Amino acid sequence: MENFHLAEDLEDTASLHTFYSIAKNLFLLNRTSLLTDLIDEEVFKSVVGMLEWDPAGGMEPRRHREFLWERSKFRQILPISSEDLKAKIHETYRLQYVQDVCLPAPSLFEENLLSGLSSHLLFNRAEIVNYLMVGGLMDRGC
């Protein structure tokens, strides 16, 4: 992560394109334990920063961090008291963004390479819905 930030500070485009390839391929390794490390709050913003430097996108970064942390806003439709649930919702949103926007659309050959990410998203969504259905009803005394 330190080397990525150093390359960004030095505006070393060639190195930044290499970091993009590294980050993309880490997701494509399809390892659950690695995915857990990649989405850890301490490193996730840097990983998304690496995904901004897609060589196919030219010399300018795509500004994923700006969108995710500054422009997108979380709006609660239902009151959520659990900070853990809020964190899970934010994590799921960011992972979905990575899958849909940051990573290239997989070819037929690569279709199964993101199954770990898809599974993680599915389990996160199930956990969120379960909490809202069971935990939310318990909060109302049902």
Task: Map out the domains of the chain as residue ranges.
Answer: 2-139
- The confidence score (pLDDT) of residue 109 equals 57
Dist CA 126 CA 117 (whole Å):
14
**pLDDT of 6-54, one tens digit each?**
999 999 999 999 999 999 988 888 888 888 888 888 899 999 999 999 9
Q: Which residues are CB-neighbours of 102 under 8 A, at least 6 positions away?
A: 48, 51, 52, 62, 64
- The confidence score (pLDDT) of residue 137 equals 47
Q: Which residues are CB-neighbours of 82 under 8 A, at least 6 positions away?
A: 131, 135
**pLDDT of 61-112, one tens digit each?**
889 989 988 888 888 887 888 888 888 898 899 888 888 888 877 665 566 6
Average confidence score pLDDT of the chain: 84
Q: What are the tokens at 139? A: 């909060």
